Chain A
Amino acid sequence: MTTEISQADATTFAIVDELKARFGEANLVVQPTLTGMPVVWVAREQLIEVMRFVQQVNKPFVMLYDLHGVDERLRMHRRGLPPADFTVFYQLMSLERNSELMIKVALHEDDLRVPTLCHVYLNANWYEREVFDMFGIEFTGHPHLTRMLMPPTWNGHPLRKDYPARATEFDPYTLTMEGQDREQEALRFDPEAWGMKRHSGDTDYMFLNLGPNHPSVHGVFRIALQLDGEEVVDCVPDIGYHHRGAEKMAERQSWHSYIPYTDRIDYTGGVMNNLPYILAVEKLAGITVTPRAETIRVMMAEMFRINSHLLFLGTFLQDLGAMSPVFYTFSDRQRAYHVIEAITGFRMHPAWFRIGGVAHDLPRGWDRLVREFLDWMPPRLDEYERAMMDNSIVRERTVGIATHTTAEALTWGVTGPNLRATGLKYDLRKARPYSGYERFDFDIPVGTNGDVFDRGMLRIEEMRQSLRIIEQCLKNMPEGDYKADHPLTTPPPRDKMLQHIETLITHFLQVSWGPVLKANESFQMIEATKGLNSYYLTSDGNTMSYRTRIRTPSFAHLQHIPAVINGGFVPDLIAHLGSIDFVMADVDR
């Protein structure tokens, strides 16, 4: 395992020297990976100290971007790494350094305990609960270490390697009348367990259970509210009603056949979801794709960004009580689907990107369809801005509502449009361009107040910028192949396969077993429709991923809700839920 450290990486890896200087070289193990960030193993006893150090170092790591675990027990290729049965990894992000840092802690089976990070990075709370749920790792000192994604009555920890993946390995599901009562009782909200009082002075608080099925929670999200009249005193979001085990699924699908599962993570994002996964796999495989494939990918990803933002706009305004916008935006979505379907052959989940390129070349006449869409949209966006966002009722409901500052957003791991609405000009497509975004000319819209209105308005402007990008794709679509000429391109280019026995065999093996990727770790982050979405892949030299960690933006955004909404009113909560643009599959995966 070797990595080449280029000039640009030198600043990224500077933190390693700073850590060595502070904690001593003997106490750290630096793991070479393809992730493009330093990966440093530290002892459990030093974890909190290390975290406080990187949080306060010059050019600090302000955001806990991700935190999760790995079951290392079956991993074959671990040479040079500290012995571990389980690993907890912490991924931190620094805006000033424009880079990440990964800290890993090795754990042994008979002592699965790590000190909690909740006091250093506030947003560690939910991540630690998820790791507890999935791996059974205890976070000592955690304020409320209970199950997060699985039902409270669940047995076992699903992401452990000895836990069966398939539902068909268990007895078929049945539900009895008493079983239903039991499950419902287990879900009952207990205010005392969350340290909430039922009375205070002469006020009796009301506890309102909103969801998991409610028209304004966009799927299956539940939030328990402590109310004093209309005022939300405190609230507890409850997730896990949409956990499809996508990370476990990756451990049994081949690198290629996992692509359709990525589409369904942020299900309004379509092929946008393929992008971080495919890019991470290509890093492992060492594939450089052609400029044409890159441009096609960018164009389709931006089509889906527009599509997702249109869905957002319609439902957001509907949550505010406006009935008609959804009819307008959905007819635009229909036009977008017309283009998407002509090119990819499917509407919501095309699974169209491939390792080494895309599934198919652009069909003849694609340019006409894209041109029609580009001509159609701008006047519509102007109209939306005028008719909806200038509407005085919408303004009353949204301006100055559920505001948060940039610092708060970073503390809670908020990314994407919700972060930019606070005025921070941070867009990964500009900050660290991937898939050829450096070749495009576009602006980063930002808000000023970080309120519900800004979050809505910003997305209209983002659609305009996406149209600009698509326009440039249309005008400058490079000629060439839509697939890279590389042995791991899956499936390999067909014309080559028909001429050489070697490529025919490769094709046969890739279809029957799937491509084999060398043991290493890779990572790719993208600016997805809802914020930063990333795939952290661990290959153990097999046809399947050893561990796939999917970091989704909506998870962080939902954890942020209580900090924003406590002290506000119930209608503000609804407006806020509409404005953060989440889908539950992007939260629970």
Chain B
Amino acid sequence: MSYKLTRIDPDAPQSSQYPVGERRIVDDPMDDQVHRNVFMGKLENIMHNVVNWGRKNSLWPYNFGLSCCYVEMTTAFTAPHDIARFGSEVLRASPRQADVMVISGTCFIKMAPIIQELYDQMLEPKWVISMGSCANSGGMYDIYSVVQGVDKFLPIDVYIPGCPPRPEAFLQGLQLLQDSIQQERRPLTWVVGDQGVYKAEMPSQREKRRDERIAVTELRSPDEV
């Protein structure tokens, strides 16, 4: 599996564009010769697995919403969908306590610097879910006041399609984020390793499910409830 390496640059010049820092596609760092060592390699693997398991099952979302999608996101938090099943019910009103920011709604040019500020205030490890067409690409709002996709300045981990996506789709997106977190290679301490964040390049769900999707030949009639 290939990984996306992100390395933070604390001395980035003021003129640099968001997202700031180095980003490139690399191979799994655990496949390097140095990690093939039977003892250290296995131990490191176990450590990564344990830490990632803990992280993915206690994702604290930031209570942050922009527009319509936020209503469906909130619906996922309430009783009928119950996000607590996935360990993500601890909504935080402060970015400093949150792990995952869900861009649920349209990203406006007036709002973009504020979103960036809030993202910067979140502490590592942190993830971003882009929820809904507007956040993904601007969606149906190709209009002067809307940023055509929040990934113009934020690094996105999971994109959830829909306008708005159903709460179930949000929950699936959350689970996909969990799967991706399980594969991550983050520095285990601040003294060991190269201090880069390695996020797995996860397969596209659209391609993965294509066969299943085109195998459907009969759609439910809208004449029946």
B108, B145, B163: the one within 8 Å of A158 (CB): B145
Q: How far is the CA of A438 from the CA of B58 in the complex (A)?
A: 54
Q: How far is the CA of A327 from the CA of B77 in the complex (A)?
A: 9
Question: Nearest chain B CB to A20's CB is how many angstroms away?
Answer: 42
Q: Looking at A168, A245, A364, which has the most chain B CB atoms within 10 Å of its CB?
A: A245
A interface residues, how many (CB within 8 angstroms) = 67
Q: How far is the CA of A347 from the CA of B152 in the complex (A)?
A: 29
Q: Are B144 and A327 touching (Cβ within 8 A)?
A: no
Of A212-220, A387-395, A566-574, the stretch lying at the interface with chain B is A212-220
B66, B71, B72, B138: the one within 8 Å of A242 (CB): B66
Q: Are A244 and B146 touching (Cβ within 8 A)?
A: yes
Q: Are A349 and B164 touching (Cβ within 8 A)?
A: yes
Q: Are A585 and B68 touching (Cβ within 8 A)?
A: yes
Q: Is residue B75 contacting chain A, with contact meaning CB distance below 8 A? A: yes
Q: Is residue A538 contacting chain B, with contact meaning CB distance below 8 A? A: no
Q: Is residue B14 contacting chain A, with contact meaning CB distance below 8 A? A: yes
Q: Are A347 and B166 touching (Cβ within 8 A)?
A: yes
Which residues on the B side are within 8 Å of A207 (C-beta)? none
List B residues 51-75 near A (Cβ within 8 Å): 63-68, 70-72, 74-75
Q: Are B225 and A330 touching (Cβ within 8 A)?
A: no
Task: Determine the interface band of chain B, counting residues with CB < 8 A from chain A.
Answer: 35 or more
Q: Is residue A320 contacting chain B, with contact meaning CB distance below 8 A? A: no
Of A83-91, A120-128, A365-373, A426-434, the stretch lying at the interface with chain B is A365-373
Q: How far is the CA of A220 from the CA of B63 in the complex (A)?
A: 12
Q: Are B140 and A260 touching (Cβ within 8 A)?
A: yes
Q: Is residue A202 contacting chain B, with contact meaning CB distance below 8 A? A: no
Which residues on the A side are within 8 Å of B192 (C-beta)? none
Taking A326-B78, A364-B224, A365-B224 as contacts, is the C-beta distance between A219 and B143 under 8 angstroms?
A: no
Q: Are A243 and B110 touching (Cβ within 8 A)?
A: yes
Which residues on the A side are within 8 Å of B71 (C-beta)? 267-268, 311, 348
Q: How far is the CA of A232 from the CA of B2 in the complex (A)?
A: 55
B68, B74, B113: the one within 8 Å of A264 (CB): B68
Q: Are B78 and A330 touching (Cβ within 8 A)?
A: yes
Q: Are A248 and B113 touching (Cβ within 8 A)?
A: no
Q: How far is the CA of A167 from the CA of B149 in the complex (A)?
A: 11
Q: Is residue B22 contacting chain A, with contact meaning CB distance below 8 A? A: no
Q: Is residue A512 contacting chain B, with contact meaning CB distance below 8 A? A: no
**Binary contact track A182-205/B, C-beta < 8 Å → 1, others 0:** 011001000000000000000000
Taking A174-B153, A219-B70 as contacts, is the C-beta distance between A249 and B20 under 8 angstroms?
A: no
Which residues on the B side are within 8 Å of A174 (C-beta)? 17-18, 152-153
Question: Which of chain B's residues has its CB closest to A264's CB?
Answer: B68
B64, B70, B145: the one within 8 Å of A150 (CB): B145
Q: Is residue B189 contacting chain A, with contact meaning CB distance below 8 A? A: no
Which residues on the B side are within 8 Å of A345 (C-beta)? 222
Q: Is residue A321 contacting chain B, with contact meaning CB distance below 8 A? A: no
Q: Is residue A164 contacting chain B, with contact meaning CB distance below 8 A? A: yes
Question: Which of chain A's residues has its CB closest to B78's CB?
Answer: A330
Taking A212-B114, A213-B118, A248-B143 as contacts, is the C-beta distance between A363 and B80 under 8 angstroms?
A: no
Q: Is residue A177 contacting chain B, with contact meaning CB distance below 8 A? A: yes
Which residues on the B side are within 8 Å of A242 (C-beta)? 66-67, 106, 108, 111
Q: How far is the CA of A71 from the CA of B32 in the complex (A)?
A: 65
Q: How far is the CA of A166 from the CA of B78 in the complex (A)?
A: 37
A173, A214, A244, A331: the one within 8 Å of B148 (CB): A173
**Binary contact track A140-174/B, C-beta < 8 Å → 1, others 0:** 00000000011100000010000111111010111
A213, A267, A327, A348: the one within 8 Å of B114 (CB): A213
Which residues on the A side are within 8 Å of B17 (C-beta)? 174-176
**Binary contact track B71-115/A, C-beta < 8 Å → 1, others 0:** 110110011100000000000010000000000011011111110
Q: Are A243 and B108 touching (Cβ within 8 A)?
A: yes
Q: A167-B145, A220-B108, A267-B67 provided; 7 other pairs, C-beta below 8 A?
A: A150-B145, A173-B109, A264-B67, A327-B78, A348-B71, A366-B225, A369-B225
4 tightest A-B CB contacts, nearest first:
A330-B78, A245-B143, A183-B113, A267-B68
Measuring CB to CB, which residues of chain A are less than 8 angstroms from any residue of chain B?
149-151, 158, 163-168, 170, 172-181, 183-184, 187, 212-215, 219-220, 240-245, 248-249, 260-261, 264, 267-268, 311, 314, 326-328, 330-331, 333-334, 342-343, 345, 347-349, 360, 363-366, 368-369, 584-585
Q: List 29 A-B contacts (CB under 8 A).
A: A149-B145, A150-B110, A167-B138, A174-B17, A174-B152, A176-B16, A176-B18, A177-B16, A181-B14, A187-B113, A212-B114, A220-B67, A242-B67, A244-B145, A244-B146, A245-B143, A245-B145, A249-B143, A260-B140, A264-B68, A267-B67, A267-B68, A326-B74, A333-B75, A334-B75, A334-B80, A342-B225, A368-B225, A585-B67
